[in-house]
Amino acid sequence: MNLQVTRPPLSIRLCGPRGFCAGVDRAIQIVVLALKAYGAPVYVRHEIVHNRYVVEGLEAKGAVFVEELDEIPAEHRAQPVVFSAHGVPKSVPEDAVSRSLFYLDATCPLVSKVHKQAMRHQRLGRHVVLIGHAGHPEVIGTMGQLPPGAVSLVETVDDVDRYEPADPDNLGYVTQTTLSVDDTAGVIARLQQRFPNLTAPAADSICYATTNRQEAVKQAAPGCDLFIIVGAPNSSNSKRLVEVALRAGAKRSLLVQRADELDWADIGAIGTLGLSAGASAPEVIVDEIIAAFKERFDARIDLAVTTEENENFLVNRELRGVPLTAEDMAWVNG
């Protein structure tokens, strides 16, 4: 009797670039290096990046996640507190100083660049229009660079249509770094239509990592029966990748955090799978998803690479002398 079960063929279009961007890599390195340099506990304000696996991995190493600085016990004031990659309002470092806390800022340099562009608009007398998602930590951080009332948030074309600024000839815009490139172009076009004197930022606010991941998914999506994006439900750039996959022609798209979430009955018979990961999703989870498909399908990996990335951001000055080995990051990079 032949018990061998024939697995159906599957082409996995594996997008590149995918997963960790330079800003996320740097933020995780900062916590890992701070633990090496100062020992546990190292406090982290807010999820360092939007990924449960990363947060739990750092907790296991001795990081303690808090939402606000007043949760840090007085006896641990000398231990570092790290601010997340999304950036923080100006009031947060001010609060840290007033509490005599030692802080390490892991704000992505590309988010800091958006902060500077918003401040520049204001310095030149413009009211700032921020295109972004209400309540996202990056939006809270960017709005918090300027005094209350100096920034108006718009999310959609409809928001732009409803927007009635006090001085329509004196506006400058910036955007969240992780938005949909195509949707944002539509919102900017409507702003320019309504407010012809609107000033653009000196450089695009949507970052290279967001742009590259969306472009790779767009190229790979046509003809995919299913497109899986590895990422968290609160990760803006991961959710945008799901939308991009659907719009570019994938029949279905799912946001998945771990392989054990895959519902095989629901996935059913597929011949082509698209696969990518948001900027905060570790490569080890991508490997886990591929292994799960290989157990059930005769899977072949077809690389769908649109560009190479070589961005690399330096960690904070205080941590530059602390050695970082491949082993220190193997739990996320594989």
Work out which of 23, 57, 137, 231 binds ligand SF4, going by CB under 6 A. Answer: 23
Question: Which residues does residue 299 pair with via DSSP β-bridges, in sequence order?
Answer: 10
Q: What are phi and psi of 196, to 5 degrees?
A: -60, -20
Nearest residue (beta carbon) to ligand SF4: 23
User: Does 238 interact with ligand SF4 (rule: CB under 6 A)?
Assistant: no
Residues 105-134 binding ligand SF4 (CB under 6 A) are 108, 110-111
Work out which of 29, 117, 178, 235 binds ligand SF4, going by CB under 6 A. Answer: 178
Spell out the SS3 assignment of 217-263: HHHHCCCCCEEEEECCCCCHHHHHHHHHHHHCCCCCEEEECCHHHCC
Tell me the per-residue interface mask from 272 to 301 with ligand SF4, x by CB under 6 A, - otherwise. Answer: -------x----------------------
Tokens 């020992």 appear where? 39
Residues in CB range of 153: below 8 A, 6 or more apart: 130, 131, 132, 134, 139, 143
- Per the annotation, the verdict on 138 as an active-site residue is yes
Helix (H, G, I), strand (E, B) or coil at 137: helix
Residues 195-234 binding ligand SF4 (CB under 6 A) are 207, 209-210
**Which residue among 56, 67, 68, 138 is the active-site one?**
138
**Residue 179: what residue type?**
L
For residue 241, give both structure tokens: 């990748």
User: Does 22 interact with ligand SF4 (rule: CB under 6 A)?
Assistant: yes
User: Does 237 interact with ligand SF4 (rule: CB under 6 A)?
Assistant: yes
- Are the beta carbons of 83 and 92 closer than 8 angstroms? yes
Question: Which residues does residue 254 pair with via DSSP β-bridges, in sequence order?
Answer: 228
- Are the beta carbons of 132 and 188 closer than 8 angstroms? no
User: Does 244 interact with ligand SF4 (rule: CB under 6 A)?
Assistant: no
- Are the beta carbons of 243 and 255 closer than 8 angstroms? no
Stretch that binds ligand SF4, among 17-25, 155-163, 190-198, 291-299 (CB under 6 A): 17-25
User: Does 187 interact with ligand SF4 (rule: CB under 6 A)?
Assistant: no
- Are the beta carbons of 185 and 158 closer than 8 angstroms? no
> Which of 13, 25, 106, 6 lies closest to 306 in space, CA to CA?
13
Q: How far is the CB of 271 from ligand SF4 (least distance, A)?
A: 32
Q: How far is the CB of 246 from ligand SF4 (least distance, A)?
A: 21
Work out which of 177, 212, 253, 276 binds ligand SF4, going by CB under 6 A. Answer: 177
Q: How far is the CB of 168 from ligand SF4 (least distance, A)?
A: 30
Work out which of 10, 14, 15, 21 binds ligand SF4, going by CB under 6 A. Answer: 21
Summarize as ranges the residues that interact with ligand SF4 (CB under 6 A).
21-24, 85, 108, 110-111, 177-178, 207, 209-210, 237, 279
Known catalytic residues?
A: 138
